[in-house]
Structure 1
Amino acid sequence: MRRALLFVFIALAGLAGCATYHPQPIAPDQLARQFEQRSLGSEELHAWIAREADRDVSPWPPAAWNRELLTLAAYYYSPALDLARAQWGTAKAGIDVANAIPNPVLQLPFQYNTPNPGPGAPFTWGPSLDIPIETAHKRGYRVDQASHQSEAARLNIITAAWTVSAQVRDAMLALYAARTRIAFLSAKAEAQRQITVMSRRRLAVGQYSQPDFDAAVLADTQAQSDLAAARSAEEDARAQLAAAIGVPVAALDSVTLDLSAFGTVPPAPPAADGQRAAIFHRADLRASLAEYAAAESALQLEVAKQYPDLHLGPGYTYDTGTNKIAFGLAGITLPIFDQNQGGIRQAEAKRQEAAVRTGALQDRILGDLAHALTRYESSTAALVISDAHLASARRQLDSQAAALSTGNADRLTYTQAKADYQTSEAAHLDAEVAVQQAAGALEDAIQSPLTRGPVSHTLSEGATR
């Protein structure tokens, strides 16, 4: 009887260490308020950037936000990175699940006997345990599989971080292009407005025909329309940048952005260096390799399942006056009809699928890299031609200015030359943006910036807000 009570006491003691549930409800209105309160000047963001950049950013907030600082702010606020970190936490918890030792099963049978066959009370009862013992290193293979999946989830954080960084880069480039275009188009619109005024005067004194005046008005309205479109593009780019960072658009109202880096052309890496960086640096390829290693461990686990586990069954039984202590095996599965061949074949197929997926990803990466290098080379060559064209347009404008000063050209001709020059400036901007977009595609192919700023783009995978 005392042995039976001891068994029950041990079981209850084990239940005393169970975890408890703590509810964490989500309130949509609270989430909306938290989003609206996000700011690029918060002290929490300051401390986080100082920790991630391993240096203090002083003064705070900075006088101008460049790509590196905005990228770090996006790392802090981005919900995509929060999700990637949470998924890594789930994967790490899977290691503990895989490493858990199977719990014994407490059995409490009870039987009333009539008629009573023994000398004691007419009961048969007593606790017993079913203690499972895994064989063939099954738990180790489960832990290996979970560890590889955790590593893949950790690498997915780096992939998500690069995606966020690329979104910030693209939004800043769009904003740079829009603001530069506004400057050009504002000058052109002013020139076209002056041309319209001068054309109206000449029409009034008979020095201009109606078709010539109508053409000037048409060019004026087109310039105003282009300027309005550029201003709309600027607002869209600001919204795109705010979304990439994870802050409301109003958070950018009092912020000065440093977009000067987009006015320079970064050098492209040699093709061999780019290929090496794409193969060994890209986190998504390394994550795919980790997924393949997890598939390998899963196959090893399925092979190990051919070997049955043991079940020890110690226990105590009071049998109508007789005390019985049991030792031995509670059960063992005999692999007669099923030797887990189906599970093994499925695991082999999944391993092959993982191998094909990894190979396909590598081929796509190398193809994207080759295309990005070709695109970058062609866009830089086009920029050289555009530089020459802009220089020629500048000389022509200077020539018209000189002719105006000497009286060999009138103000209408000079103003038209200014408008034409702004058109050349806008075309040159298109060539600059094309180079920057090609550089961005090259960065995406190797998942690394072509130029490194004072703040590193490396994100601590476990960093949280």
Structure 2
Amino acid sequence: MHPRQTLLFLTLLTGCAHFQDQPLDAQVSASGLEARSLNSGGLQAYFASLKLPKDGPWDLAKLTLAALFYHPDMALIRAQADMAGAAGQTAAQRPNPSVAITPTWISNIADAVPWIFVGALSIPIETAGKRGYRMDKSRHLSAAARLRIADTAWLVRSRLRLALLDVYASETAVQMLGQQQALQARVNGDLQAQQQAGELATSDVLAAQLALDQVRLGLSAAEKKRADSQAVLAAALGIPVSGLAGVKLDFTAFAQVSDMRQIAVKQLTAKALRERPDVLALLAEYAAAQAALQLEVANQYPNIQANPGYTWNTGENRWLMGLAALQLPVFNQNQGPIAEMAAKRQETAQRFEALQLRIIGEIDRAYAAAQAVQNRMAAAEQSLDNRKANVAAIQNLLTAGEVDAHALATAELEQSLAERSRLDVLVESQQAAAQLEAALRYPLGTGAFIKNTSP
């Protein structure tokens, strides 16, 4: 082989990609998942790259970052976006030329070299802007995939907020039921003393004992729910429940409820219908469908195949021009693919309209629920304030010697029940706020949403 030919051949080989084996081991993967925690070095390095304080509270905002770092939904959607981005390289590729060399030996030729050498070069030339349409389609699909990352981040945050709220509710309920159990036991002790003194009927003592048993059962159920809620929170973060060990969670954001009447719902709804990440992603998919239809329309026009060649025949050099070879649109003019892409574009438009309608419904339902529970929250607050005032009044009477300790314990028990009722309404209110926030894709006073979603 000629040295120049050898050099060209080696150059082509060095430009080729080579396969790299990356085996997937279930045991190694499981071990890595089980080792995840909120104190891992990888997560702390991620926080450091964002210039976050090392010892900040584990509130909703910081936990959201941890979920964006760990959650498998985020890893999957990022991989899908990378795949869509890589498809752009494929779309931009130009077709390679090909070469054919056909040596032929003639066995019965006389007084001539018995060889004929034929060489032909085939150069494909795309027409009608097909490469540009293909690149447009890929670019829009890549943009849609990147927007899906932002939408998935919102969904991950929404599930995390509800899971954290559930942990707050269950832990607070355990504390309240523990206090209620102690108060009920005090009341029961006073009643038993009165019974022994002959001042109270046995039925009254039995009723109080039944109430104490109910509180104990409620406490046991609340402790189980607390364990379950921690497992759900760990799953929302993308870590095992052991990864929460030693972590002090910050529930400050759930202590109060924002006034839903101060939210500009109409303006935020209009913004959501235009700018929600899933809305923008579907718009990008529609643009990709447009480009795909343009590509199929362009495919009506055949590509050109330039075929220059060379023949060495019994000592003669013959050069073939081979200007062009065209595919003849005799049996079809690409009507089928054009019809398919036109239908795909229409289907995408209908999906977009359905998405906007679903968004309106989600926002309307969530806002109505938030407003309704806000009235109940005001009533629960008033009831608790009344019980607190009653406890203060009885405390004064006890100091003056006008009532006994049993009256104070009973009043404190009533206050404890009012606090539990307020907690139930508070949790319901926070759930409604979380649903409205998820529908709007807009933070409503529980910590700003972190825009950087890539670790």
Settle same-fold status: TM greater than 0.5. yes
**Deviation per CA, 1:271-300, whole angstroms, max 9, x where unpaired?**
222113312331011000000000000000
Partner of 1:21: 19
Partner of 2:30: 32
Partner of 1:265: 257
CA apart distance, 1:304: 0.1
One-letter identity of the residue aligned with 2:222: A
Q: Distance in 1 between matches of 2:43 and 2:220?
A: 35
One-letter identity of the residue aligned with 1:74: A
Give the SS at the match of 1:108: strand
CA apart distance, 1:114: 4.2
Q: Could you tell me which runs of 5 or more consecutive residues in structure 1 were left unpaired when the two chains were aligned.
A: none
Q: Distance in 1 between matches of 2:8 and 2:123?
A: 14
One-letter identity of the residue aligned with 2:34: E
CA apart distance, 1:126: 3.0
Partner of 2:182: 190
CA apart distance, 1:218: 1.2
Tell me if 1:96 matches 2:92: no
One-letter identity of the residue aligned with 1:317: T
Partner of 1:68: 61
CA contact (8 A) 2:296 2:337 kept: yes
CA shift in 2, pair 1:346/1:190, >3 Å? same
Matches within 5 A, 1:39-438: 39-52=37-50, 55-57=51-53, 60-62=54-56, 64-116=57-109, 120-268=112-260, 269-329=263-323, 331-438=325-432
Number of residues of Structure 1 aligned to a counterpart in Structure 2: 453
One-letter identity of the residue aligned with 1:193: A
**Deviation per CA, 1:87-145, whole angstroms, max 9, x where unpaired?**
111000000000000011222334343433x7533333333221110000001000000
CA shift in 2, pair 1:318/1:16, >3 Å? farther
Give the SS at the match of 2:451: coil
One-letter identity of the residue aligned with 2:91: A
Q: Distance in 2 between matches of 1:26 and 1:244?
A: 24
CA contact (8 A) 1:383 1:432 kept: yes
CA shift in 2, pair 1:119/1:12, >3 Å? farther
Instruction: Provide the TM-score with structure 2 as the length reference.
Output: 0.93
**Deviation per CA, 1:412-443, whole angstroms, max 9, x where unpaired?**
34323322221111111111111111110111
CA apart distance, 1:356: 0.4
Q: Distance in 2 between matches of 1:203 and 1:125?
A: 120
CA contact (8 A) 1:282 1:446 kept: yes
One-letter identity of the residue aligned with 1:447: R
CA apart distance, 1:39: 2.9
CA contact (8 A) 2:272 2:440 kept: yes
CA shift in 2, pair 1:328/1:421, >3 Å? same
**Deviation per CA, 1:6-64, whole angstroms, max 9, x where unpaired?**
88975664344110011111222222222232232334323322433xx341xx233x2
Q: Distance in 1 between matches of 2:378 and 2:83?
A: 51
Instruction: Provide the TM-score with structure 1 as the length reference.
Output: 0.91
CA contact (8 A) 2:297 2:338 kept: yes
Give the SS at the match of 1:61: coil
CA apart distance, 1:398: 2.9
Give the SS at the match of 1:180: helix
CA apart distance, 1:211: 2.5
CA contact (8 A) 2:443 2:449 kept: no
One-letter identity of the residue aligned with 2:442: S
One-letter identity of the residue aligned with 1:44: G
CA apart distance, 1:167: 1.9
**Deviation per CA, 1:387-434, whole angstroms, max 9, x where unpaired?**
112222222333333343344434334323322221111111111111
Q: Distance in 1 between matches of 2:107 and 2:347?
A: 62
Q: Could you tell me which runs of 5 or more consecutive residues in structure 2 were left unpaired when the two chains were aligned.
A: none
CA contact (8 A) 1:189 1:223 kept: yes
One-letter identity of the residue aligned with 1:213: V
Q: Distance in 2 between matches of 1:282 and 1:50?
A: 29
**Deviation per CA, 1:276-329, whole angstroms, max 9, x where unpaired?**
331233101100000000000000000000000000112222334433222214
Q: Distance in 2 between matches of 1:108 and 1:210?
A: 111
CA shift in 2, pair 1:9/1:345, >3 Å? farther
Give the SS at the match of 2:104: strand
CA apart distance, 1:223: 0.2
CA apart distance, 1:213: 2.3
CA apart distance, 1:450: 1.1
**Deviation per CA, 1:196-233, whole angstroms, max 9, x where unpaired?**
33333444444333322221121111101111111222
Q: Distance in 2 between matches of 1:207 and 1:112?
A: 127
Q: Distance in 1 between matches of 2:74 and 2:409?
A: 52
Give the SS at the match of 1:115: coil
Q: Percent identity?
A: 36
Q: Distance in 2 between matches of 1:383 and 1:27?
A: 52
Q: Distance in 1 between matches of 2:306 and 2:7?
A: 20
Give the SS at the match of 1:127: strand
One-letter identity of the residue aligned with 2:169: A
CA shift in 2, pair 1:286/1:377, >3 Å? same
